[in-house]
Amino acid sequence: MNNQLILQTRARWLLPGLEVLWGICTFAQSRVTNVNQIYALRFLVGMLEAPVFAGTHFILGSWYSGPELFKRAGTWFICNALGTMVSGYLQAAAYTNLSGVGGMPGWRWLFIIDGIFTIPVALLGFFIFPGIPDSPRPFYLTESDISLAKERLARAKIRRPGKLNADVFKRTLKRWHIWVFIFCYAYVYDFTDVVFQYWL
């Protein structure tokens, strides 16, 4: 792999592959029989889901720059929130209307429905997800499309990703930004969770 980031060489298949595995773990949660199984599966779901945020923005930044990138990243954030909202309504409806169907409680149906939505979309990703300009070319892009994407990024002076080595980790951990933002992110989520539990 020449110590390169996995996304640089396998971007077209990594995120759809993680999504397929995520869907399988989601399906599996509908069959759990004890709390330890749900803990293990939720750990796997979180592990498979974790690279999606950074991976998506890495890929967007590999195709777009400047205002184009902000618009697309903003659209991704908005759709994320809308997807969570819509899925909440769908889950409530499934839980209410499917409870007892097939002899299963409603909460098991929630995981089955999530898996039914997830797997086909993830499989479609293997064919239509573009990866980055250095990835193997998808069928709907021409060589001139890829060349244009690379030229545009070169004009915008976007630095190409370098090698992943110990120096990258050292430089990252020495910067104050990562510690402040991790603390803020964890604090906000923990704080809002406590507030909601108190109010509800």
User: What confidence score (pLDDT) does residue 76 get?
Assistant: 87
38-77 pLDDT, tens digit each: 889 989 988 888 888 888 888 888 888 878 888 888 888 8
User: What confidence score (pLDDT) does residue 8 get?
Assistant: 61
Q: Secondary structure of the chain: what % helix, strand, coil (to 5)?
A: 80, 0, 20
User: Average of pLDDT values for 120-149?
Assistant: 88
pTM above 0.75, yes or no: no
User: What confidence score (pLDDT) does residue 196 get?
Assistant: 47
Question: DSSP state, 136?
Answer: P
* Residues 66, 30: Cα–Cα separation, whole Å: 43
Reduced to 3 states (helix: H, G, I; strand: E, B; else coil), residue 60 is helix
Q: 123 pLDDT exceeds 90? A: yes
